[in-house]
Amino acid sequence: MLIRVIGFACTALLFAAWPVHADVLIKNVTLYDGTGAAAVPGANVLVKGNTIAAISTHAIDAGGAQVIDGSGKYLIPGLMDVHIHVRGGQGGSVMQGGQRVPTADFEAGLRALQGYLYLGVTSVYDSGNNPDFIFKLRANERAGEIVSPRIFAAGGTISVPGGYGAGLTALKIANWEQGKKDLIAKIEREKPDMLKLILDRQGLYANRAVPTMSEDIFHKVVQTADEMGVRTTVHVSMEWDADMAARSGVSAMAHPVLRAVVNDSYIKELADRKIPIATTMTVFSNIARVADDPSFFDNPLFKATLSEEEREKGKTSERQRYITSGMSGMFQLMIPYAKQNIKRLFDGGVILALGTDRTDGPTAHQELELLNQSGIGPFDCIKIATLNGAIYLGREKDLGSVETGKLADLVLLTADPADSVANFAAIDTVIKDGVVIDRGALDVPANRM
């Protein structure tokens, strides 16, 4: 398979060394720990190495730790976006057999990742990408060779021949005899953090009907992955497919159902089975909005983290593609259902995890705005954007909340996030894996203005 590799020379940008750990004490801060517990004013949080070592409202001996004064500030866990597609690996203009050839633009990918980190997103789950691209970035991140959020990844998606999402890098299962061998080989070769299955008869807009995976094969894929210790998430757009996926034991849902108001029985099933859903309203909202008003590309968070060229592309060629394809018009019809369903899922006790299905850090903050517009308060958005993301990934034992013994992914804010979702962007300090990030050194436009 042809893969276009772009900018993979060992540049200083790509292989910037990760900073050295130093113990950190955050003093006298108002703490929102991400669990849903009430705020704790006057908290002291000690980080040793990459771990949260102590939390107390009493004095903590800092020893030789770096001290950060948290007076008048607010500490939350690092934000998590559990449905992204890192820019640089999705394919460009080169076609092969009617499909876009996957790219591997590592410099574009790293710039996008640093944009997430700049805006307080310390963990991302890439829910489908060129495996050679995303797993290389993941390896670099875990080796400390790049400054990036934590990267969790699916690699190529799993579909059927001719099905939705059956691109050049997808695993396309035509029958289980061969499909099982290919699935096991994929898991052993790539070691995905979470597999992404596609179960969609018509995609997400007005395209032609396409083949989809049978219930029997879907169940066997989920079962095999589970036996190999790998979680699964599924792209669905219809409630009956989501019901089937839930019965098959899927770990999570990559999207909520958005084409109609969901039934109470569906909500109860997800809540009872504790199946988390990535919220992903931003992908629908942005594609719907861009037809009439692409000005959101010029808001401060986009200007801070996307180049003028990237923003202009969003306002012109990408905008035209969404209009011409009919996606913008179709998604405009879906937005009211999206907001209504998200609120009903929340009220019904379903675990909602912040996800955007986008490629850039500012969209995580757009997702918070949409959650709030759906009737979910800023305080509840804290857990959705942090601990629930860790639950989605099966990493709640070591990520997602400010608790002793967990990994130190933290964001210090200058405004109270429980007062307004806009305050999630009032970032003073980002700490990832116990390291205080030098936001001024990240490769984002804000540092070149």
List the domain boundaries for the chain: 24-77+402-447, 79-393
Question: What pLDDT was estimated at residue 207?
Answer: 61
Mean pLDDT of 38-58: 98
Going by pLDDT thresholds of 50, 70 and 90, the confidence category of residue 167 is confident
Q: How far does the chain reach from its first CA to its final CA, in angstroms? A: 40
Q: What would the pLDDT profile of 285-314 be if each residue is shown by its tens digit? A: 988 888 888 999 999 999 999 999 999 999
Question: What pLDDT was estimated at residue 20?
Answer: 63
Name the most confidently modeled range: 1-15, 111-125, 292-306. Answer: 111-125
Q: Is pLDDT at 329 greater than 80 in this prediction?
A: yes
24-77+402-447 carries CATH number 2.30.40.10:
yes
Alpha-carbon gap, residue 154 to 134, rounded angstroms: 9
Domains 24-77+402-447 and 79-393 alike in fold: no
Cα distances from 149 to residues 118, 140, 404, 437, in angstroms, run 9, 11, 21, 10
Question: What pLDDT was estimated at residue 236?
Answer: 92
More confident position, 380 or 205: 380
Structure tokens that stand for 124 in this block: 């991302």
| Phi/psi at 352 (5° precision) | -100, 130
Question: What pLDDT was estimated at residue 2?
Answer: 32
Question: What pLDDT was estimated at residue 98?
Answer: 60
Superfamily per CATH, domain 79-393? Metal-dependent hydrolases (3.20.20.140)
Q: Is pLDDT at 438 greater than 80 in this prediction?
A: yes
Alpha-carbon gap, residue 304 to 115, rounded angstroms: 8
Q: How many helices (H) and strands (E) does the chain have?
A: 14, 22
- Please provide the average confidence, as pLDDT, over all residues in the chain: 92
Going by pLDDT thresholds of 50, 70 and 90, the confidence category of residue 6 is very low
Question: What pLDDT was estimated at residue 80?
Answer: 99
What angle is formed at CA 75 by the lines to CA 79 and CA 352, rounded to 5 degrees? Answer: 35
Question: What pLDDT was estimated at residue 327?
Answer: 83
